[in-house]
Amino acid sequence: MSDQPSRVAVSEDAAALLRQLTAQHGPLMFHQSGGCCDGSSPMCYPIGMFITGASDVRLGALEVPGLDPIEVYMSESQFEYWKYTHLTIDVVEGRGAGFSVEGPTGKRFLIRSRMLDAIELEELGLAPQG
């Protein structure tokens, strides 16, 4: 377990959907891209269906009771804009991206964000120096 604060979390509703999707598809992961439209939504894939690369940043892992940790990644260029935020993956009714596994369920994942607090900024080495 890391000493650093978590950059990611999951809502109870999203955790319930992730348990269903894991039962259907096996272990999952998320990638938050910097695209437009659905490309800016968190995309959920079975592990191995989306290959991360050197330009992706691992934000952390979602802790869903009953499941292995679900890793969350973001493109490095997007991370530069979001590095001062904490992201919570949530779910709402509606049709999401076609490539994300929740698509056929009538629900879609989305990101809720908040600014990191002073303690989190300090622990992540992002606090202003001076």
Per-residue pLDDT of 49-93, as tens digits, reads: 999 999 999 999 999 999 999 999 999 999 999 999 999 999 999
Q: Which stretches of 47-106 are assigned E, i.e. beta strand?
A: 56-62, 70-75, 85-93
d(CA 33, CA 15): 21
Which residue blocks in the chain are alpha helix, DSSP H?
12-25, 76-82, 118-123
The mean predicted confidence, pLDDT, of the chain is 90
* Tens of pLDDT, residues 6-25: 899 999 999 999 999 999 99
Phi, psi of 51 (to 5 degrees): -100, 120
Percent of the chain with pLDDT over 70: 88
pTM over 0.85: yes
